[in-house]
Structure 1
Amino acid sequence: MALKQIVAAAILDSLEQPTKLLSARRTAPEAMAGLWEFPGGKLEPGEGCREAVHREILEELGVKVRLGSEVFGPLEQGWALNEHAAMRVWFAEITDGTPQALEDHDLLEWVDLDAPALESLAWIPADLPIVHAVLADVEAGATR
């Protein structure tokens, strides 16, 4: 059985010289309320992954983004979220608009791209390995 495909963006202040990551605090479901995540969501029927990232970020944050490289996970479908879903994540940079917590979030925060700053947030457990991969890719210069 295929996992449900989820997509998300690791939004950086710059794809070329990143120093900060935009994190989003969830409001629902109750089990995840108050935890931090990468903004994104489910694919709609007939939609491609990259197309879904653009749509989800516009719906959730009200901004347009330019996608960089993918933050590759250990699975073909990206990163396991649970036994039913996996998430593919792309680096992104805002090209139009100012991010706002419009849907599913109550707070957005630009966090320094270093382990102590990022690990100080209460991330959704499935997102924490992705945080570490983001840091490794940024350090390797693999964001574009």
Structure 2
Amino acid sequence: MTFDTAEDHATTAARAVERLRLAEARLARRRQTDCGPSENARAAMRLILERADAGLSVTPTEIAQSLAVSTASVTGMLDRLHAGGLITFAANPADRRSKFVLPFDRDTDADAIDPVTARIREFALDLPDALADQVAAFLDRVREVVDAECA
């Protein structure tokens, strides 16, 4: 019995993605109880820091839209980040009902907020450019399938 090499490699890649998805799910569960801020809080902090670095402001509504969660969820999350000393708020001069979310300490290292992303970035630096582009394209297609599920 012979195996088609392309199918064998495809199966290997598909199984690796499934192992990654399971590991991400386990990490998300651990972060809900054991590892400080939730995945959404970490994503919000990354967004806040990226916007601050670009000289842009971000509102709680924009954070909710970016994370695809309710504004009520974001309000609670931002309250916890504020209580933890990671963010502060400033009045929006263009809209008195709105506020901007700012990092409290801009010296906060985004990689310290999400060390997993930092490690993945380190691994990616070892990939040849063409292979990195192929991996990125493959993972983008996987992400599209995941995002489309139950949407």
If the TM-score is normalised by the length of the shorter chain, which range does it land in?
under 0.3
Bigger Rg, structure 1 or 2: 2
Structure with higher RCO (Cα < 8 A, 6+ apart): 1
Q: Give me the TM-score of the superposition, normalised by structure 2.
A: 0.23
**Which has a greater percent of strand?**
1
